[in-house]
Amino acid sequence: MNEYDNYLVLYLIPPELFRDNNILNLQWGSIKTLIPCLLRSLYSGSISVKLHDFERTLTGLINADRTTKINILGRTATMWYYLTEVFQQSLGPRKGIFAEELIARWIEYYNKNSCKGFEIIKIDGKSHSLILGKVLRQYNISSSSKREIDFVIKSNSRIDFIELRMSEHTGGRTAQESLLDKHQELLGMLEGNGLREALLCQGINEMNLVIGILFNEKHELIVGGNYNVGRLNSLINYIMEDNHIWGKVNDLANKNYVYCNGDKISKNIFKNELTNKHETCIKTNNGNFTIRFKILLGDEFFKEYICKDFNDIKNQWFNMIADDIWLFYTLLINEIKVAREFDQTNVRKIYDLLPKNQGILLDFMNLYYNKNMDINEYRDKLNKLIEQCASEVLKITTNRGIELRVLESNDATAIFEYLKQLCFAVFAIYLTRDINQDINFRECEWGNTIS
């Protein structure tokens, strides 16, 4: 079996078999309540569509009602729009949490015995999206701040407060303020709230305020100069406003802070260094405490905290990736169209056709309860069952004269591959409704969860 059609569907694999695989375990934590939502619609052939009239008018979907009797696209347009919108909104936060959790694990893994010996700070068992006030209280600083900082990383004498963005498209003023407000608060606390003295008492004499931006507008990792200079300059201009970072730095200049080379702090130099070097540095007049401001773009972030290029990390960690999301989502987009035209999805038709207590579905149940194998063996056996399922479906429908509207194609290979994908969905519905006795897909949560 070719690797490209040897699917890895976590929903159909006992969690015990991938619990120790960081990537798969994280993927599962992000999607385990989303997949039942897609399965529920694959089973029923419908989605609860709730769009207000402004949305329907803005997108032109209000006109789709007038074409529903004569045009299949008109009948499915609202469904497609709603599904895509809700799916993307649901997936968005999951992707962010997945990425942050994975990066946290990378920092721990690569700094355990090498790199720079960084330790990632954890609060209440979490290693990302930390409540700033709780972090500061670890250093005997009284703070009620409820703001969330993405990461806090320390070494022997250094602590880094990091805000990370996946894309250089950081949004408008509100998004920029959200990116920088934690850093502003920390600068304001250095002298007024005794933060500097508290850190010095812990042996920490350097504080880095870091903004990490990983990917450009084309979703490419930022390497070299493949970023939008205008967007970066906009962020720097915001930093330099008197009521933002620069204002706090200017306050420190009035309290005898200087540049790290001993020069007097000035606005022009501060902006020029951020613009040209993406980094600048100030210190107390006696030199006992240093503050660095850094904007780390793309691979610079990984080299700073993991000591490796992203491609090296990707090659080591991304060798086994689950197919659940794209498989069930793309199936549903086509199957909703089928249901609108023929009153039922192919998935539902096949599920009803296959006997539940014998044959291929019973073989799947026996496989699912057999835990005496590793994930690769289980995956191979599951994919062989899926091929048998597709062949059995073809045999049953041919013998009974039942028509399946699978694809608008006469390519036998493509049709058989789609039948295999349908069988994955059938197995998943069987696992949910028959094995786990969840006939209403209660596990479905469009909102974001991760464990």
Q: From CA 188, how far away is CA 193, in angstroms rounded? A: 8
**Is 60 exceeded by the pLDDT of residue 3?**
no
**Residue 84 domain flag:** yes
Least confident of 12-26, 61-75, 363-377: 61-75
Is 60 in a helix, a strand, or coil? coil
Q: From CA 49, how far away is CA 429, in angstroms rounded? A: 22
Assess contact for 84 and 275: CB atoms under 8 A. Answer: no
**Residue 371 domain flag:** yes
Q: From CA 258, how far away is CA 287, in angstroms rounded? A: 9
Least confident of 47-56, 80-89, 120-129, 360-369: 47-56
Record the tokens describing residue 403, joined without a space. 């028509």
Assess contact for 279 and 295: CB atoms under 8 A. Answer: yes
**What pLDDT does 410 receive?**
77
pLDDT digit string, tens, across residues 411-425: 888 889 999 999 999
Q: Are strands 151-154 and 119-120 parallel, antiparallel or unpaired?
A: antiparallel
Average pLDDT, the chain: 92
Q: From CA 145, how far away is CA 138, in angstroms rounded? A: 13
Q: Which residues pair with 258 in a beta bridge?
A: 283
- State whether 354 and 273 are in the same domain: no
Assess contact for 300 and 391: CB atoms under 8 A. Answer: no
**What pLDDT does 72 receive?**
78
**What confidence tier does 172 reach under pLDDT thresholds 50, 70, 90?**
low
Given 254, 270, 305, the domain boundary residue is 305
Mean pLDDT of 300-313: 96
- State whether 124 and 269 are in the same domain: yes
Given 305, 335, 370, the domain boundary residue is 305
**What pLDDT does 170 receive?**
59
**Residue 88 domain flag:** yes
Assess contact for 353 and 396: CB atoms under 8 A. Answer: yes
Is 217 in a helix, a strand, or coil? coil
**Is 70 exceeded by the pLDDT of residue 171?**
no
Q: From CA 358, how far away is CA 31, in angstroms rounded? A: 30
Mean pLDDT of 199-220: 95
- State whether 289 and 351 are in the same domain: no
- State whether 290 and 416 are in the same domain: no
Alpha helix locations (H) across 32-148? Answer: 35-44, 53-59, 72-111, 132-137
Q: From CA 267, how far away is CA 246, in angstroms rounded? A: 8
- State whether 337 and 242 are in the same domain: no
Mean pLDDT of 189-212: 94
Assess contact for 434 and 356: CB atoms under 8 A. Answer: yes
- State whether 269 and 400 are in the same domain: no
Q: From CA 419, how far away is CA 405, in angstroms rounded? A: 11
pLDDT digit string, tens, across residues 261-282: 999 999 999 999 999 999 999 9
**Is 80 exceeded by the pLDDT of residue 64?**
no
Record the tokens describing residue 312, joined without a space. 């090296």
Q: Which residue has the tokens 């606390």?
A: 189
Assess contact for 394 and 356: CB atoms under 8 A. Answer: no
- State whether 169 and 212 are in the same domain: yes
- State whether 270 and 362 are in the same domain: no
- State whether 86 and 138 are in the same domain: no
Q: From CA 407, how far away is CA 416, in angstroms rounded? A: 10
For residue 141, the tally of other CB atoms under 10 A from its CB is 18
DSSP 433: I
SS3 per-residue string spanning 166-177: EECCCCCHHHHH
pLDDT digit string, tens, across residues 338-364: 998 889 999 999 999 999 988 999 999
**Is 80 exceeded by the pLDDT of residue 448?**
no
- Domain membership of residue 192 as a residue range: 116-305
Given 305, 337, 370, the domain boundary residue is 305
Nearest Cα neighbor of 139 from 121, 126, 117 is 121
**What pLDDT does 449 receive?**
47
**What pLDDT does 4 receive?**
56
- State whether 215 and 286 are in the same domain: yes
**What pLDDT does 412 receive?**
86
**Residue 351 domain flag:** yes
Nearest Cα neighbor of 332 from 10, 14, 83, 150 is 83
| pTM above threshold 0.75 | yes
Phi, psi angles (nearest 5°) of residue 149: -110, 140
- State whether 256 and 141 are in the same domain: yes
E strand map for 238-328: 258-259, 279-283, 290-297
Q: Which residue has the tokens 């009521």?
A: 243
Q: Are strands 279-283 and 290-297 parallel, antiparallel or unpaired?
A: antiparallel
**Residue 314 domain flag:** no
**Residue 240 domain flag:** yes
**Residue 81 domain flag:** yes
Q: From CA 37, how far away is CA 442, in angstroms rounded? A: 9
For the chain, what is the domain count? 2
E strand map for 135-224: 148-149, 151-154, 158-167, 206-215
- State whether 265 and 201 are in the same domain: yes
Is 275 in a helix, a strand, or coil? helix
**What confidence tier does 173 reach under pLDDT thresholds 50, 70, 90?**
low
Is 152 in a helix, a strand, or coil? strand
**Residue 176 domain flag:** yes
Query: Chain centroid to CA 321: how far?
Result: 14
Which of residues 402 and 161 earns the better pLDDT score?
161
**What confidence tier does 451 reach under pLDDT thresholds 50, 70, 90?**
very low
